[in-house]
A and B are shown apart, each in its own frame.
Chain A
Amino acid sequence: AQSVTQPDIHITVSEGASLELRCNYSYGATPYLFWYVQSPGQGLQLLLKYFSGDTLVQGIKGFEAEFKRSQSSFNLRKPSVHWSDAAEYFCAVNSGGYQKVTFGTGTKLQVIP
């Protein structure tokens, strides 16, 4: 069965600092991997996804993520965080041939001035 772990429940960074959110997945073959963001009171929005090819994926809002098969990881990064990035971030995995996404428990990002 597929699973995804986000080890950090809550992260606080200063505005302008770099950010890395961790995500580890469990699945034998190469899964489809996603990062979604949920702003307060809103639904989820896709930041980026990986399903094949280049292991460094660029997304919206200046985010990127790197798929590392050896570490079963798909960490999300941003070089300089803005106050508007404060939100909940969800890593998700889909290993089957059809849509059945498993979400991580989320990491809440707080941005301080």
Chain B
Amino acid sequence: GAGVSQSPSNKVTEKGKDVELRCDPISGHTALYWYRQRLGQGLEFLIYFQGNSAPDKSGLPSDRFSAERTGESVSTLTIQRTQQEDSAVYLCASSLAGSGRAMNTGELFFGEGSRLTVL
């Protein structure tokens, strides 16, 4: 597609339920990132994918959080047994970094985010 697409745009769930958030990056972008943005706070790095491997998952806050990516395409972020503190906007971004086709530029292309509310 033309841009990074995320779904759902809004998700309300009950504490203890599992949720899946989806990201469809820009076609051809080998790098994919997940960030979390809590209300009034900055972006918190969660995980980075290059292709379908995740060389940096240092930002995942607990083992309830996991992510996978299929090739150089769609990624899903799964949160198991959600807690109220998981409420946030989850942002996905993609870039050409590491593809050999572009120098690292720091230019990430973001989706509009998935707003998660845990009741």
A and B from one assembly?
no
A residues in contact (CB < 8 Å) with B: none
B residues in contact (CB < 8 Å) with A: none
